[in-house]
Amino acid sequence: MNQDILNQNDANTQKLNWEAFIKQDVLNFLMAHNLQAITVDDGAGKKGVIKRSAKGELAVQITSNEKL
């Protein structure tokens, strides 16, 4: 039972780390290089997309495949 809780906590931590990576490091890279869009894929089902709209607004989309 305790192992299940630890595994669930590890999965939640990895998800937060991925979201933080997209919203911080990848976003900073996009802005520093004045890019219109960037897509990041970890090869294991997680993907992050950041796009700049015509108005200059930034849209962030984060997806993941999770096995239950």
SS3 at position 12: helix
Q: What pLDDT is recorded for position 10?
A: 60
pLDDT at 3: 53
Taking only the tens place, the pLDDT of each residue in 3-54 is 555 455 566 666 668 899 999 999 999 999 999 999 999 888 899 999 999 9
- How many whole angstroms from its chain centre is CA 13? 13
Q: Which strand ranges, in their side-by-side order, compose the sheet holding 37-41?
A: 37-41, 47-52, 58-63
Which of these, 49, 68, 44, 45, lies nearest to 59 by C-alpha position?
A: 49
- Bridge pairing between strands 37-41 and 47-52: antiparallel
